Amino acid sequence: MGTVTVRKIDDDVIRDLRISAARRGVSMEQEARDRLRSPQTQDHGSEPVESAGNKPPWRLKASMEELLALGRKLPHGEFDQKDESDRLYDYLEQHDGHSMTMSDKQILLIICGGIAAYKSLDLIRRLRERGASVRCVMTKAAQEFVTPLSVGALTAGHVFTDLFDRQDEHDVGHIRLSREADLIVVAPATADLMAKLAGGHANDLASAVLMATDKKVLMAPAMNPSMWSHPATRRNRAQLEKDGILFVGPNTGEMAESGEAGTGRMAEPLEIAAAVELLLDTRPKPLAGRRIIVTSGPTHEPIDPVRYIANRSSGKQGHAIAAALARLGADVRLVSGPVAIPDPAGVRTIHVERAEEMRDAVEQLMPADAAIFVAAVADWRAEGAADQKIKKVAGDGPPVLRMVENPDILATVGHHRKRPWLVVGFAAETQDVLKNAEAKLAKKGADFIVANDVSGSVMGGDRNRVTIVSKSGVQEWPEMGKDEVAARLAGLIAERLKTTAV
């Protein structure tokens, strides 16, 4: 794969790349690569147009449903029904996709040592332009990548670097830092700092602040994919989530190291800023006080240590639903099968691989107000997974795999003694979609079924067309982006839960 470096890009182009990348949940580098691969038509959401005046040469392209959904979130008076798309595009270009949503909020940003530390400079800017005040703590390793001078220039304040600084610690400064912030953000969060906090160590300023705080902590991990997938890191993350630490990312893509790719890229600054906005949003929310379980992604049923039974589910729709419910104030617990997308911000995520693990995780999370079963759970598994790789033997033919049925998680919960007040199932079908969904509704004990035809490119794609099937009737929704499906479904769930006491 060749490498191309482009310099002196116009600010308008950079801004538009940043907005478009944030909307798609990808890095700016990936957004640029996708545009270069297909310069004429952009299925993912952008198209080239002629520059005019100070308009950027690239503009976002979205469905009218997505634009109107965005418009409903904008301040009153910013747009009207005439030329909605142009007005919304202009709003995005004028405001860079944000508004002063963090006025009077104090963020403590802890920067750890890693190549992704350079992104923390942009993150400071993104937080401040939303109205937040930002203080920074830098580890010794972080100062090898970015300087306190650069960080201080962007925060317009003192940068804290030493636990034993005579001036900063005369009034036990690390305690003051940990308590005065509204939220602590660790970006990048290295494997080392995660291990320290999981083990309760406090031998430098960053770890001492994190141990002393009584505020929420949001971590944006960044490390090599092998480090992220290491059993020690997985254990530490699980412990930190159990302790109440929240995560955004990491993302999947190319690493700074040549030839390295996988999951471990730090979330983009705009993604982190969006997660911070969500956590600090104190406006009344319709699902506040509600606990909702969501399942997402596929399951992997092992045949031997190398092979497994799976399906094409990407987890995009389930993760989008979890994020949409969290934005409405719900305490969302996401049980995710193996996926290549980051955990949604503001959501507690439990990672599993097999159907039995997913069932057990869901049962442990009950009772709940609602359960949304989006995961594409394998119907069957091998009766006994081999301990060693099954070898091909010439002349013996293929091995015989004895299959057993996996647990039906939707039916289990739908008829459970701790059944949530609202149970929603998904039906991914390739034929007789409505007929199969109605049968599933009657059999599984669900309140309604979200049915979709997956014979095309729905699995792994960014768009979906669903039909809501309930005892009261059938409602067909038009094709739209999966984020918009998620937003509409979250609204429907909130409406259903209105009639029950919190």
Would you say residue 138 lies in a domain?
A: yes
Mark whether 274 and 296 lie in a shared domain.
Answer: no
Q: What are the two backbone dihedrals, phi and then psi, of residue 263, each rounded to the nearest 5 degrees?
A: -90, 125
pLDDT at 359 over 80: yes
Q: Say whether both 124 and 48 belong to one domain.
A: no
Is residue 286 situated within a structural domain? Answer: no
The pLDDT value given to residue 51 = 35
Which residues are CB-neighbours of 93 under 8 A, at least 6 positions away? Answer: 12, 15, 16, 19, 55, 56
Q: Write the CB contacts of 33 (distance below 8 Å, at least 6 apart in sequence).
A: none
Last residue of a domain, one of 280, 309, 335: 280
Give 215-267 pLDDT, tens digit per residue: 889 999 999 888 998 999 999 999 998 888 988 888 877 777 777 778 888 88
493 and 430 belong to one structural domain: yes
Burial 399-430 (b: 16+ CB within 10 A, else e): eeeeeeebbbbbbebbebeebbbbbbbbbbbe
Q: Is there a single domain that holds both residue 248 and residue 299?
A: no
111 with 102: CB under 8 angstroms?
no
Residues 170 and 214 occupy one common structural domain:
yes
Residue 302 and residue 436 in one domain: yes
Whether residue 467 contacts residue 441, with contact meaning beta carbons closer than 8 Å, is answered with no
Question: How confident is the model over 367-396, as a mean pLDDT?
Answer: 89
Query: Closest Cα to residue 449, out of 419, 406, 481, 492?
Result: 492
- The CATH code of the domain that includes 151 is 3.40.50.1950
The reported pLDDT for the residue numbered 58 is 32
241 and 333 belong to one structural domain: no
Mean pLDDT of 48-55: 36
Residue 367, preceding peptide bond in cis (omega within 30° of 0)? yes
Last residue of a domain, one of 95, 118, 143: 95
**pTM for this prediction:** 0.58
pLDDT attached to residue 407: 93
Residue 216's alpha-carbon distances to 16, 245, 298, 490, in angstroms, are 31, 7, 31, 25
Condensed to tens digits (0 to 9), the pLDDT of residues 87-136 reads: 433 433 343 444 556 778 899 999 999 889 999 999 998 888 888 889 99
Whether 395 maps to a domain, the answer reads no
Average confidence (pLDDT) over 419-435? 87
* pLDDT tens-place string over residues 124-149: 988 888 888 899 999 999 999 999 99
Q: Which domain holds residue 371?
A: 291-381+403-497
Let me know: does 458 contact 464? Beta carbons within 8 Å: yes
CB 301 within 8 A of CB 355: yes
Residues 89 and 157 in one domain: no
Same domain, 138 and 78: no
Catalytic residue among 54, 236, 251, 311: 311
Give me the DSSP letters along 23-41: HHT--HHHHHHHHHH-SS-
pLDDT at position 7: 58
Higher per-residue confidence, 31 vs 4: 31
Chain centroid, CA 413 distance in Å: 25
pLDDT tens across 391-405, in order?
888 878 888 888 999
Q: With respect to residue 101, please indicate whether it lies within any of the assigned structural domains.
A: no
> For every residue of 416-451, which 3-state class applies, written as one string?
CCCCCCEEEEEEEECCCHHHHHHHHHHHHCCCEEEE
Percent of the chain's residues with pLDDT above 90? 32
Same domain, 321 and 429: yes
Residue 236 located in a structural domain: yes
Q: How do residues 433-473 score in pLDDT, each as one tens digit?
A: 888 888 888 889 899 999 888 777 667 677 888 899 988 88
Q: Is residue 191 part of a domain?
A: yes
Number of structural domains found in the chain: 3
Q: What is the pLDDT of residue 270?
A: 83
Residue 343 lies in a domain: yes
Give yes or no: residues 79 and 142 share one domain: no
Q: Has residue 216 been placed in a domain?
A: yes
**Distances from the Cα of 17 to the Cα of 46, 96, 164, 449, angstroms:** 9, 10, 42, 37
- Average pLDDT for the chain: 79
> Which of 221, 256, 280 is the endpoint of a domain?
280
Residues 22 and 152 in one domain: no
Assign residue 426 a region (left: φ > 0; alpha: ψ between -120 and 50; beta: otherwise). beta
Catalytic: 311? yes
Strand partners, 95: none
By the 8 A CB rule, do 473 and 437 touch? no
Instruction: Give the CATH number for residue 371.
Output: 3.40.50.10300
